[in-house]
Amino acid sequence: MQKTLKRYFPIFVLPTLIAFSFAFIIPFVMGVYLSFCKFKTITNAQFIGFDNYIKIFANKDFINAFGFTVKFSILAILTINIFAFALAMALTRKMAGTNLFRTVFFMPNLIGGIILGYIWQQMINAVLLKYETTLVANATYGFIGLVVLMNWQMIGYMMIIYIAGLQNVPTELIEAAKIDGATSWQTLIKVKIPMVMPSITICLFLTVSNCFKLFDQNLALTSGAPSKKTAMLALDIYNTFYGRSGFEGVGQAKAVLFFIIVAIIALSQLALTRSKEVEQ
């Protein structure tokens, strides 16, 4: 049985591998190549070496976008995970309507980012109308708006993952802690959190990568206004690529750099949290 499986392994893998190559590997390799090219459309590329990478830093847009992204990500990742965990704790108690609450909290996650962005833009502008200002008048408004929007969208998803983790904490351990006289705070820190570490790994990974790669919500909510002060990395790349003629290669180079940054951050985060996981 094992042998047959092994023999036919390439055949079983092939369809997926082909799809994966077409949808991912080939575009990715082409993208990296294009970042070293000057091109208008991808069919008339011309190799120019590292020029594009040098041009990235010719103006401050990328650096500013990076700063904004980091600022946003730190705040969003912290708030999303703390709120999601708190909600998960609350909704794993035996109380009426937990299933309803779980569904309701999860629902925002089912709405697409662009739509969410416009909905929140309308809502925030409606509130700001009273103060005769708008979301795009001040970069701080946009920043707070984005954080709130991301929280609203992602808390539900993370909450579900934390709930699954919390439900898997063996009751013997909690009982044992209780008998040993641990307070509920101590139980949380010393027993529950170490036991749900795998969930934390997943949640952190998801929030880190989603926050860094955020595009739709950013585009719909503020589109970088005012004066690109609320533009995140993905939006800056998009604007570079499409916004200015002759900068397609620079946009591509930014995208490659962006990939490297996100990969480094996500992988180091994974390694860090994985090392804290405990075997049951």
Partner 1 sequence: MKKKLVSALLCATMAVSLLAGCGSSSEAPATDEPAAEAPAEDAEAPAEDAEAPAADAGAGQVYYLNFKPEVDEVWQSLATQYTEETGVPVKVVTAASGSYEQTLMSEIANSEAPTLFQINGPIGYQNWKDYCADLKDTDLYSWLLDKSLAVEGDDGGVYGIPYVVEGFGIIYNDAIMQKYFAMDGAKAASIDDIKNFDTLKAVVEDMQAKKDDLGIEGVFASTSLTPGEDWRWQTHLANVPVFYEFKDKDITDTDALEFTYSDNYKNIFDLYINNSCTAPGLLGSKSVDDSMAEFALGQAAMVQNGNWAWAQISGVDGNVVNQEDVKFLPIYTGISGEESQGLCTGTENFFSINSQASAEDQAASIAFVEWLFSSDTGKAAVTNDLGFIAPFNTFSDDEKPTDPLAQEVIRYMADSSKTSVAWNFTSFPSQQFKDDFGAALLEYASGSLTWDDVKALVVEEWATEKAAIAEAAE
255 in Cβ contact with 230 (< 8 Å): no
- For residue 84, what is the DSSP state? H
- Smallest distance from partner 1 to CB 89, Å: 21
159 in Cβ contact with 86 (< 8 Å): no
> Among residues 4 and 41, whose Cβ is nearest to partner 1?
41
- Smallest distance from partner 1 to CB 22, Å: 11
Question: How many chain residues touch partner 1 (CB under 8 A)?
Answer: 46
Q: Is 133 in the site for partner 1 (CB under 8 A)?
A: yes
Q: Is 125 in the site for partner 1 (CB under 8 A)?
A: yes
Q: Helix-strand-coil percent breakdown of the chain, rounded to 5?
A: 75, 0, 20
Q: Is 247 in the site for partner 1 (CB under 8 A)?
A: yes
> Among residues 180 and 279, whose Cβ is nearest to partner 1?
279
Per CB under 8 A, contacts with partner 1 among 177-236 are 198, 201-202, 205-206, 209-210, 213, 215-216, 223-228
Scanning 20-28, 85-93, 103-111, 147-155 for contacts with partner 1 by CB under 8 A, the matching segment is 20-28
> Among residues 170 and 184, whose Cβ is nearest to partner 1?
170
Q: Beta-strand (E) ranges in the chain?
A: 37-38, 46-47
Q: Which residues contact 73 (CB under 8 A, 6 or more apart)?
A: 208, 211, 212
Q: Which phi-psi region, left, alpha or beta, contains residue 112 (left: φ > 0; alpha: ψ -120 to 50)?
A: beta
Figure out which of the listed residues 12, 24, 47, 57 binds partner 1, where binding follows CB under 8 A: 24
Of residues 259, 268, 222, 220, the one with CA closest to residue 237: 259
Q: How many CB atoms lie within 10 A of CB 206?
A: 18
Query: Coil, helix or strand for 155?
Result: helix
> Among residues 119 and 270, whose Cβ is nearest to partner 1?
270
Whole-angstrom distance, CA of residue 247 vs CA of residue 252: 9
> Among residues 152 and 165, whose Cβ is nearest to partner 1?
165
Q: Is 135 in the site for partner 1 (CB under 8 A)?
A: yes
- Smallest distance from partner 1 to CB 134, Å: 4
- Smallest distance from partner 1 to CB 52, Å: 11
Per CB under 8 A, contacts with partner 1 among 34-93 are 40-44, 59
- Smallest distance from partner 1 to CB 181, Å: 29
Interface residues with partner 1 (CB under 8 A)? Answer: 23-24, 27, 40-44, 59, 125, 129, 131-138, 198, 201-202, 205-206, 209-210, 213, 215-216, 223-228, 242-248, 270, 277, 279-280
